[in-house]
Structures are given as C-alpha cells and as structure tokens.
Amino acid sequence: MIQLQIIVSGEVQGVGYRYYTQMKAIQFGITGWVKNLQEGGVEILASGENDNLERFIDEVRRGNPFSTVDHIEVNETVKTETYRSFAIKY
C-alpha cells in the first residue's frame, strides 16, 4: 500500500469536486480523505495499491464536468495512519 498527498488547484471548490473525488476513491478501493484548502485548492490523502492510485489520479486530474483542474501535485508520504474508508473532511 502506498500513501499519497495530492494537492489540486483550479476551480475545485463549490462545484462538487470533493464528492466526485470520494466517489472515484470508492470505485478504485482508495482510502483516506479530501478537504478544501483556504487558498481555494483541495488536498487529498489517498492510500491504496499503485495501479488503483494511478487510475484514481487520472480521474482526479480530469475532474467532474463542473470543475476545472489547473494543476495537480502528487507526493508520496510516510503512512502514519490507516484509513478504512474515504471521507470528506470539513
């Protein structure tokens, strides 16, 4: 299992992007969370198998029809906590 921190910038707040991210995470068996950032982006912490994470990142990069993803930054992190599901943080 790999854990990634993903920072997404663009028009990703107020357009259902976090819900979209959660649905894609469930589809690919990814655990972790997604939350809005104060500067207007979204942060994702995603844990899963490498192949599933790659497909998840492709979907996150694409976004839902109402969002516009300008940039995505992906960094592997040290796994400090195990998640059982994928949650939207508020």
36 is catalytic: yes
The runs of H, that is alpha helices, within 1-90 are: 17-27, 50-62
61 assigned to active site: no
The active-site residue, picked from 18, 52, 55, 64, is 18
Instruction: Indicate which residue of 36, 50, 52, 62 is catalytic.
Output: 36
User: Who contacts 42 (Cβ-Cβ below 8 Å, separation ≥6)?
Assistant: 7, 8, 12, 13, 17, 18, 21, 34, 35, 36
Which residues have a catalytic role annotated?
18, 36
